[in-house]
Structure formats: C-alpha cells, structure tokens
Amino acid sequence: MKKVLDLCGRKLSYQEQGDGNPIVLLHGFCCSSDSWKEVIPLLSQKYRVIAPDLRGYGVSQHTSVHAAISMEEMAEDIQNLLDALEIDKVDIFGHSMGGYVSLAFAEKYPDRLKSLSLIHSTALSDTDKGKEARLQSINTIEEKGMGTFLEGFIAKFFAPDRLENRDVMTKWAFEIGIKTSPSTAIGCLLGMRERPDRNHVLGSLQIPVLLLAGSQDLIIPKERTFSVHDEHIKQVEMSGCGHTSMFEAPRELVEIMINFLVNN
C-alpha cells in the first residue's frame, strides 16, 4: 500500500517497508516505485526501505504542463520527504533517471547521504545525439501517444540475450509505464536533456559510491556508467544484464546492494 504525504501543498506518494537503517530507492524514467516490486520485500528483511514516486509519477503531483521537470526539483522533493519522515542520513540507490536525481541530491545535500549508488545510470550529461533523441521522443509522444513511445522504449530495457521471462517483463514494464502522463514524460525528457555533467560531484564525494552497470545495457552502456575511477568508488558489472536489473535479476541486484552496504 502506498502512503501519501502533503509536501508544501503537493502530494507525494511512496512505499515504505521494513526496519533498520533507512534506504531510499529512486526509480527511472516512465517507471514508478512499483518497478522495485521484487526488490523491496528482499531488502526490507534487513533495512527500512523507502521508495518514492518521483514528481509526476504515482500520485506524486507536478504542477506545470509540458515544462521541464528538473532533476534538482525532484531532488528537493526527496529532501522534503526525508524531513517529513524525520530521517537524517540515508543510503540512496538511483536507477537511471533516479540516478540523475540522486546526483543532484548529492550536490545539494551531501550531508544527508551515507552512500550513493548509481544503478544503470551515469554522471555524464547527454551527448548532442542524445539531446536530439530526446526531442524525437517528445515528437513521438505528441504525435503517436504514450503507448507507441513506450513500446520502443521498453524494447531496449532488457539484455538482447535475455529471452527467459521477456514477455512477462515487457508486460509488467508497460503496465507501469502507461500510467505516466504525457506531460510528465515530456517534462522528464526536457529535464534529463538539460541536466549538467556531474562527474565532479561523484569524484568529490567523501562517502562510498557504487556504480553498477549491465554488460548488455542498450540505453546506458557501461562505459558511461563507469565514468569516474577513484578509491571511494566501487564498480560492479552484472554480466548478461541490460538496463533494468530490478526486473531482470532482482535477487542478484539485492545481493550486490547488501554486499555494498555491509562492506562500507
């Protein structure tokens, strides 16, 4: 059951399960906290897991129509959520766009973080080609609708070699994604398009960092995830995994997450 908070006059929904050290899970683009469905029950055996619906997702509201939803605004929502739950410091795991939000959070509120993990994400900004692709995606949504856009987007979620459960995972991802309104999707595309490079944030953090990549990620290739090398940064490659280990290999993902948390 999702809980709903009123944050400065706007609703924010989130899932919460378990006791122990608090962990925040931030979902990716056209996903929601439901994309952590397999992960939350496993992680919550050891931790207090908090999985918000980012601005515009679930019943979390965003107010503007067809304007950019910035990574910084969504990071601010997470800070407000932590305040409302009276949580001082957390370990944040951000999947893809959720990773961009967690980097904006790390830049603005470094004192609230115990560790930061980017799951199939990157600290790099969009390339020129990537920025152009964002505009094409907006075009597709405006001209053909969310269903057509999602079919193309979700086709890139899973490793090409991963045939087992592919239809089930595709259906599940589509069911989550189709709940995204066009204005949220367009807002996030514009927000991701304008996000800055945050390699300097990753490099200068004084806390443990995990960079996790799928060897067959068609959306964010591992070279873009492993963009900074430093002593405080652990890099893990999931062999045979695509862009969505929370769908494709949730048990393996949780094992990596717990291993990182326990050893830091």
Q: Contact positions toward ligand MLT, by CB under 6 A?
A: 28-29, 96-97, 192, 219
**Nearest CB to ligand MLT, comparing residues 130 and 147:** 130
* Closest of 128, 119, 74, 142 to residue 256, by C-alpha: 119
**Nearest CB to ligand MLT, comparing residues 28 and 58:** 28
Least Å from the CB of residue 246 to ligand MLT:
11
Residue 16, CB-side half-sphere exposure with 13 Å CA sphere: 15
**Nearest CB to ligand MLT, comparing residues 33 and 44:** 33
Least Å from the CB of residue 46 to ligand MLT:
26
The distance in angstroms from the start CA to the end CA of the chain is 31
* Phi and psi at residue 150, to the nearest 5°: -65, -35
Tell me if 149 sits within 8 A of 174, measured CB to CB: no
Least Å from the CB of residue 98 to ligand MLT:
7
Least Å from the CB of residue 112 to ligand MLT:
22
**Nearest CB to ligand MLT, comparing residues 30 and 49:** 30
**Nearest CB to ligand MLT, comparing residues 3 and 171:** 171
Least Å from the CB of residue 192 to ligand MLT:
5
Least Å from the CB of residue 150 to ligand MLT:
12
Tell me if 96 sits within 8 A of 119, measured CB to CB: yes
* Closest of 22, 57, 17 to residue 41, by C-alpha: 17
At 211, list the tokens: 């960079």
What does the DSSP assignment read for 114-172? Answer: EEEEEES--SS---HHHHHHHHHHHHHHHHH-HHHHHHHHHTTTS-TT--TTHHHHHHH
Least Å from the CB of residue 79 to ligand MLT:
20
**How far from the centroid of its chain's Cα atoms is residue 4's Cα?**
20
**Nearest CB to ligand MLT, comparing residues 44 and 220:** 220
**Nearest CB to ligand MLT, comparing residues 191 and 208:** 191
Instruction: State the greatest distance between any 2 C-alpha atoms of the chain, in Å, as a whole number.
Output: 49
